[in-house]
Structure 1
Amino acid sequence: MQCLATWSSLLALFLGAAACSPATGNDPTVFDEANGGAADGWFSDPTSIVCPTFLDPEKVGRIEVERAEELSGLAASRQVPGVFWSHNDSDGSGRIFAFDRDGEALAEFKLEGAKGKDWEDVSLGPGPNPWQDYLYIGDIGDNDLERGKLKVYRLPEPHLAPPQEKPEEIGEFEVFRFEYEDDEAHDAEALAIDPITGTLYIATKSQRGDRDTQVFIAQGPFEDGETYTLRHFTDENELDALKGRATAADISENGGRWIMKFDDRVSFWFRRGVGARDWAFDLEPCEGPVPKGQIETVAWDPGGKGYFLVPEGDEPHLFFVGIEN
């Protein structure tokens, strides 16, 4: 008999109270299609998993957002379903865009005084107010491998208002600085925030002049203006599944599934427990398809039904890859 952990039993387990346990340590975790994950993304000590069957990428909208020309990073709102957040790659404008599933522009905001050098990814995560989602914007790109420190901006998910000719300015936001523990420069395009622990993850992009793809972590909470060390978590020498150019990442709303976009695929892993390092990276990841084009975005559907992607370019399509029922 297989016993899958629920939120309540997981909390009980980690608080030392009674929790469910499998009758055998060899029970495989069955993918729960109703939730889009194994027991809402969690499972107990599996040796294997059964991956979902993904549908082909589907065009669900065309993004008609003025000034959105090289989108890099995508976050699907959990507080306002059907709203997406994105930004340009390296235009230095400090703008973020909101659009709906059809691609229609909803709002544009400018972070006052923010001069992004190379914004690469955006993620939703926790912050000071436990009832509020926050946007984390990663100024983490470094094509020339020359940056000593990276920046990540954090702001409460903005309230939407009708689009205006000029973007609405946001003056209140936090800036965190990060440096790699190896004192080397790395190019990175993938950022993810753990909604359970507040941990920040950055995946570097394997390329000429840099080392293999690596994943670094920094544990929150984070304070405005402070500098934090990004510590090595894992790399492609330890995990064959990390080989390739990582261009985006996301963690599901319940914290149970990690997805990473590579040039030719997406890979995702389930989670074993509530710790920042409790990812089942020792198991082969599930893999899903991607549409053609240069794509530096990926975002889980908040309902767990699949994931979204947006290619770069003028008026690109919003793609959805669903899970077969």
Structure 2
Amino acid sequence: MFKTSWFFLLFYIASGCGNFGKLDFIARLPNALKENSGIAYYPESGSLWLVEDNGNKDIIYNVDFKGNIMKELEVKNAKNHDWEDLTTDKKGNLYIGDFGNNDNDRKNLVIYKLPNPNSKSGKKIRAQQIKFNYPEQEGFPPGRHRKLFDAEAFFHHGSHLYIITKNRANPFTGEAMIYKVPDRPGDYKAKLLGRIKTCGDWDTCQVTSADISPNGKDIVLLGYGKLWSLSNFDLATDDFTKVKSREIDLDVRTQLESVCFKDNTSLFLSDEEQHKLGRNLYSYNFKR
């Protein structure tokens, strides 16, 4: 009896169905999305789109709320060097952030702009390229204390894309920089708008995804088990000097990589599979 119970407990944990902390489990994602890194939601069609990161296929995936892949679109005029986040604009365009930069040595940072994927009937979708660089970066790579130019998070507002960097400096300071670039094809110098301090723990305080609420009043930043809710910013003037940040410990330590708003109070999140844990789709009401 004891051996049987222990076997099922091990199976339960190994299948990724362990403690989800404050997150509400929705579905297990398919094996094709083991390294999922970005998620976007289209409320008018109730559809979710996901991508994978470094070196995976140049494909975006439409997934239902049972974890089934409903559609795949190959992205033309694009290459998955390190796709790290997804976001959308009010017109339904989808943006892929190919700005993963673990070693801080990339000179080919780009955001791909796609038309609404729900409107595509074929198997391919063509991207436009928004190329950019960080004017403050002086070395490729810089010294280890200046490795501040990785990114895994961005959101769209107005006519711009706002990029939040991932701090890889040693010693770790928990500081993330906020940049913006136009949402139109071109080659740009990203404009530094300000800096946000998350916390001082390397394992949980690096920013892995971000989004802004549909009403534009809240920004969320995701880490490996933590969430930061930002308010009191002014995107009309790009003023982040009075930002209020609320840290939320999600009570889970899986490799959370993706977040997007479902509505003004609730979120969708997903994590990569690591040590046979994760690869799940979750929801969370961050206002509760």
Same fold (TM over 0.5): yes
For the 8 Å contact 1:199–1:276, the answer to whether it is kept is no
TM-score (norm 1): 0.69
| Residue aligned with 2:97, SS | strand
In the alignment, the residues of structure 2 paired with residue 317 and residue 305 of structure 1 have an alpha-carbon distance, to the nearest angstrom, of: 21
Which of 134, 138, 151 does residue 110 from structure 2 map onto?
151
Match of 1:216? 178
**CA RMSD after TM alignment:** 2.8
Letter in 2 for 1:90: N
For the 8 Å contact 1:269–1:281, the answer to whether it is kept is no
Match of 2:284? 321
| Residue aligned with 2:244, SS | coil
Bigger helix fraction: 2
In the alignment, the residues of structure 1 paired with residue 212 and residue 58 of structure 2 have an alpha-carbon distance, to the nearest angstrom, of: 24
Unpaired runs of 5+ residues, structure 2, are 1-20, 141-148
In the alignment, the residues of structure 1 paired with residue 26 and residue 183 of structure 2 have an alpha-carbon distance, to the nearest angstrom, of: 37
In the alignment, the residues of structure 1 paired with residue 137 and residue 225 of structure 2 have an alpha-carbon distance, to the nearest angstrom, of: 30
2:138 counterpart of 1:175: no
Cα deviation per residue 1:68-93 (whole Å; 9 max; x = unaligned)? 22000111113312x11110111242
Query: For residues 1-325 of structure 1, what are the structure 2 equivalents within 5 Å?
Result: 56-64=22-30, 67-81=32-46, 83-126=47-90, 132-159=91-118, 168-171=123-126, 173-184=127-138, 186-194=149-157, 197-208=158-169, 212=173, 213-222=175-184, 224=185, 226-236=186-196, 239=197, 244-271=205-232, 273-275=234-236, 277-279=238-240, 281-285=242-246, 287=248, 289=250, 291-301=252-262, 303-313=263-273, 316-322=279-285
TM-aligned CA distance change 1:69 to 1:323, over 3 Å: closer
What is the deviation of 1:170? 1.4
TM-aligned CA distance change 1:310 to 1:118, over 3 Å: same
In the alignment, the residues of structure 1 paired with residue 252 and residue 242 of structure 2 have an alpha-carbon distance, to the nearest angstrom, of: 25
Cα deviation per residue 1:128-167 (whole Å; 9 max; x = unaligned)? xxxx3111100001112111241000111212689xxxx8
For the 8 Å contact 2:57–2:80, the answer to whether it is kept is yes
- Equivalenced residues, count: 252
What is the deviation of 1:192? 1.4
For the 8 Å contact 1:94–1:111, the answer to whether it is kept is yes
Identity of aligned residues (%): 24
For the 8 Å contact 1:187–1:210, the answer to whether it is kept is no
In the alignment, the residues of structure 1 paired with residue 237 and residue 43 of structure 2 have an alpha-carbon distance, to the nearest angstrom, of: 22
Letter in 1 for 2:176: Q
Cα deviation per residue 1:88-134 (whole Å; 9 max; x = unaligned)? 111242111111222222211111242111110111124xxxxx311
Shift >6 Å, 4+ stretches: none
TM-aligned CA distance change 1:311 to 1:219, over 3 Å: closer
Unpaired runs of 5+ residues, structure 1, are 1-54, 127-131
In the alignment, the residues of structure 1 paired with residue 103 and residue 181 of structure 2 have an alpha-carbon distance, to the nearest angstrom, of: 27
| Residue aligned with 2:88, SS | strand
TM-score (norm 2): 0.77
